[in-house]
Structure 1
Amino acid sequence: MKKLIALSILAFVLTGCNTIAGMGKDVQKAGQAVQGAAGH
């Protein structure tokens, strides 16, 4: 299950990044999603 979540986040980050600034925002959102999935 964790691998599926990680792959989904990675795919989202890779497809959603058009600029370096956009990538930073996407990575931040992905980190928040991981924290939410972990229950923290």
Structure 2
Amino acid sequence: MIARKTLVALMAAGFVSTALAGCNTVEGAGRDIQAAGSGVSHVATESEEELEKATE
């Protein structure tokens, strides 16, 4: 009976560890995507400003 409880506890700990690692991975990916979006937005703004100056 103790062996079964130990196995269940180890499985639960493994699941929680995997879930927490996944959250960190998703959070990091979200930050990367946000940074990429900010970079694209910045370049688009610069391009728009240069176009406006060229057409004046």
In structure 1, the partner of 2:21 is: 32
5+ residue gaps, structure 2: 1-6, 30-56
CA RMSD of aligned residues (A): 1.9
Structure (1 or 2) with the greater helix fraction = 2
TM-score of the superposition, structure 2-length normalised? Answer: 0.37
Unaligned runs of 5+ in 1: 1-17
Which amino acid in 1 is paired with 2:23? V
- Kindly indicate whether structure 1 or structure 2 has the higher relative contact order, using CA contacts under 8 Å at least 6 residues apart: 1
Identity %: 13
When normalised by structure 1's length, the TM-score is 0.51
Which runs of at least 4 in structure 1 moved beyond 6 Å after TM superposition? Answer: none
Provide Cα deviations, 1:7-30, integer angstroms capped at 9, x if missing partner.
xxxxxxxxxxx7111000000000
- The one-letter amino acid paired with 2:16 is V
